[in-house]
Structure 1
Amino acid sequence: MEFKRARRPEQVEQRRRTILDAACAMLRERPVADISLRELSDRVGLAKSNVLRYFDSREAIFLEVLDQEWGAWLDELEGELAPGAADAVGTATAVATTLLGRPLLCELVSGMAGVLERNIRVDFARVVKRRAAEHRGRLADLVRAAVPVLDEAAAHHFAGVVVVMTAGLWPHANPTDAVAQVIRELGGPPAGELVREGLTEGLVNHLVGLVARS
């Protein structure tokens, strides 16, 4: 395919959108750590060098997807949480349920520190960390509005715990065939159920504890 550089702003945005859409499609097929820039470029129909005209690196592409998915999840969560409900169990359950309903977000959160932040420039790292802080801040505000007994520090602490628990649990959601077989032999629950229960119970217990301390 002959490369034609996008020159007008709308052309640049369309090319970036095409690359991001391809990245999302590939994330539905395999973990982010298994997707190379060459494979992504082939999916888009461009050479690697041409993809890099629109994003600094493979990691930058997936961090852009993460930012979009995070914002979309918070929009959904805002519609689920009733301000002033003062129900820690219901609030934490809603956080876990809506989050697990977005596997792309969970996958990217789980790879953020160990994979995606390893090959980005300082200026882009500033953008990434600022966006992440803004998303955690918005999550804290939503949780505090639903559970007003929480103070600001507790709500921000809980928002951080959501990220950490998701990052820790999600890699266990899609085990290899060999590991899945061993889990069955040991009588354990399916991996997806284990992650769902672990995240839900973990967030409920943590938020209930923060409310009790408040």
Structure 2
Amino acid sequence: MSAGFQRARRPEQVEARRAAILAAAKELLDRRPVADISLRELSCQVGLAKSNVLRYFDSREAIFLEVLDGVWTAWLDDLEKALDEPGPAEAGFAREERVAGTIARTLAERPLLCELISSTAPVLERNIPVDFARGFKRRVAANTERLGTLVRDRIPELPAEGARHFARGVLVLVSGSWPHANPTAAVAAAAAELGEPPVFAAGLGETLTNLLAGLVARGR
């Protein structure tokens, strides 16, 4: 793979090479969990030696965190449009239920985003240098703040700190519920026998509704 390797020197060449690596990572993520994908396999997918891949990213984990940042931003863009869709007149906590349900639905439609969020703390943050960690955490903070702002724009009674708490809660709930909703075949079979099929969107929507309604009620 590396015999014909030519190092990208111009900025546009570097960006093209990085984009190719990120595209290869996404292709692999369509087929298996991030924890099962090695740097060697990713290198083969993109057609480079491992050492050459590491010229463009600090580590395997950094590649997948870069993918996460991209799909997270894209989700927020789509969520903003989805939250602006007109609905019927809302009474009680129907508005909170609609906002929380929209968040849960649009997340469920993006398994790649949910997979990467759920893998961030236990897998992807374990092997990144401090400089990359600083940049990544700044992007996480910006994305989380944007989510809170989108919610607060639709529910002005929600205090600013309540909006931040809710946005952080979305991440925590996805991190915990996504793996349980996507178990191994054996665990899924056992759960089905007990009448406990895995549920993600409905359960997430219900929990987010309760969290949001509670934060609004406490802020009044």
**Residue 8 of structure 2: aligned partner:** 6
Aligned-partner Cα distance in 2 for 1:130–1:142: 18
Residues 1:200 and 2:205 aligned together: yes
Aligned with 2:43 (options 41, 44, 53): 41
**Residue 56 of structure 2: aligned partner:** 54
Aligned-partner Cα distance in 1 for 2:145–2:56: 29
- Output one character per residue of 1:49-101: Cα deviation in whole Å (capped at 9) or x when no partner: 00000000000000000100110000001111239x88111111111111111
Deviation at 1:173, TM superposition (A): 2.5
Q: Which runs of 4+ in 1 moved over 3 A?
A: none
Aligned partner letter, 2:153: A
Aligned-partner Cα distance in 2 for 1:48–1:82: 45
Query: Normalising by the residue count of structure 1, what TM-score does the alignment of the two structures yield?
Result: 0.95
Aligned-partner Cα distance in 2 for 1:176–1:168: 15
Deviation at 1:34, TM superposition (A): 0.6
Residues 1:131 and 2:133 aligned together: no
Residues 1:74 and 2:76 aligned together: yes
Are the equivalent residues in 1 in contact too, given 2:33–2:115 (CA < 8 A)? yes
Aligned-partner Cα distance in 2 for 1:82–1:67: 23
Aligned-partner Cα distance in 2 for 1:46–1:57: 14
Deviation at 1:185, TM superposition (A): 1.0
Aligned-partner Cα distance in 1 for 2:191–2:184: 11
**Residue 164 of structure 2: aligned partner:** 156
Provide the alpha-carbon RMSD of the alignment: 1.5
Are the equivalent residues in 1 in contact too, given 2:144–2:164 (CA < 8 A)? yes
Aligned-partner Cα distance in 2 for 1:155–1:82: 18
Aligned-partner Cα distance in 2 for 1:151–1:208: 12
Structure 2 alignment gaps of length 5 or more = none
**Residue 21 of structure 1: aligned partner:** 23
Residues 1:116 and 2:118 aligned together: no
Query: Normalising by the residue count of structure 2, what TM-score does the alignment of the two structures yield?
Result: 0.92
Give the 5 Å matches for 1:181-192: 181-189=189-197, 191=198
- Output one character per residue of 1:142-195: Cα deviation in whole Å (capped at 9) or x when no partner: 000011110101000000000000000111222111111111111122x2xx12
3-state SS in 2 of match to 1:56: coil
